[in-house]
């Protein structure tokens, strides 16, 4: 079980720059505990789509290089034949297209789950704040400042005009934040984390079944 996130990305006032890494690690570790899979930590690098200027990210080639090295070492040192990649950062989703080639090169089976990204909605919006609060690291005392688009234009991508014009989903997310604001809902956050953990555990079971059938 290997988590993918980002470590240096602006997430408003209520969330730290490594929110995605923390959420990915939380889900991956819990899934590892439930399934018996080994927890391999968190990738250091992360990718981002063009025009999404929210912090420091890396070219896709570099992320794939780190991922390949980490998985190769896990295979050589731990004898791991398969891995579930638990992604908590939307910009990493293009990695999924490269997994078949990576599987062939490493001789490993790989699964990619990005359930948390699909559930959370706008960047640093209600879903992500709620998940971080449920995981225990959101600063809810700064929620009012967090939702101020003048101070934190990255929240919901409200202030990222070029990104909003290029990506229809970014425009929808920005409008959601502008119209509904940002709040913390612990019940929602717990439900999101649980669904993400269940998705990762299911991938472990699927890979284990496929390996056992060989």
Q: Which segments of the chain have a pLDDT < 50?
A: none
Per domain, the residue ranges of the chain are 2-212
With vertex at residue 19, the alpha carbon angle to CA 16 and CA 24, rounded to the nearest 5 degrees, is 160
Sign of the dihedral through C-alpha 152, 157, 163, 164 = negative
pLDDT at 47: 98
60 by Cβ neighbours in 10 Å (0-12 / 13-18 / 19+) ranks as: middle
- Report the relative pairing of strands 2-4 and 109-113 from DSSP bridges: unpaired
Selecting from 3.60.20.10, 3.30.390.30, 1.10.10.410, 3.40.50.10310, what CATH number does the domain 2-212 have?
3.40.50.10310
pLDDT, one tens digit per residue, over 130-164 is 999 999 999 999 999 999 999 999 999 999 999 99
pLDDT at 214: 58
214 by Cβ neighbours in 10 Å (0-12 / 13-18 / 19+) ranks as: exposed
pLDDT at 213: 63
pLDDT at 167: 97
pTM (two decimals): 0.96
Beta bridge partners of 109: 82
pLDDT at 189: 98
pLDDT at 212: 82
Q: How far apart are CA 49 and CA 3, in angstroms?
A: 19
């Amino acid at each position: 079980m290997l988590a993918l996130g980002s470590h240096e990305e602006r997430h408003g006032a209520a969330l730290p720059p490594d929110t995605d890494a923390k959420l990915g690690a939380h889900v991956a570790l819990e899934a590892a505990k439930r399934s018996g899979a080994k927890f391999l930590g968190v990738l250091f690098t992360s990718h981002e789509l063009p025009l999404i200027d929210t912090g420091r990210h890396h070219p896709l080639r570099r992320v794939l290089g780190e991922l390949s090295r980490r998985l190769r070492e896990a295979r050589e040192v731990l004898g791991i034949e398969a891995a579930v990649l638990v992604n908590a950062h939307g910009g990493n989703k293009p990695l999924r297209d490269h997994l078949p080639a990576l599987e062939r090169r490493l001789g490993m089976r790989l699964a990619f789950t990005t359930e948390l990204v699909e559930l959370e909605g706008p960047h640093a919006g209600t879903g992500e704040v709620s998940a971080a609060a449920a995981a225990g690291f959101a600063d809810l005392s700064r929620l009012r400042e967090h939702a101020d688009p003048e101070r934190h234009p990255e929240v919901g991508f409200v202030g990222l005009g070029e990104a909003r014009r290029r990506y229809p989903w970014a425009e929808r997310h920005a409008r959601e934040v502008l119209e509904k604001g940002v709040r913390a809902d612990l019940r929602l956050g717990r439900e999101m984390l649980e669904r993400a953990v269940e998705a990762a555990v299911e991938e472990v079971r699927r890979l284990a079944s496929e390996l056992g059938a060989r």
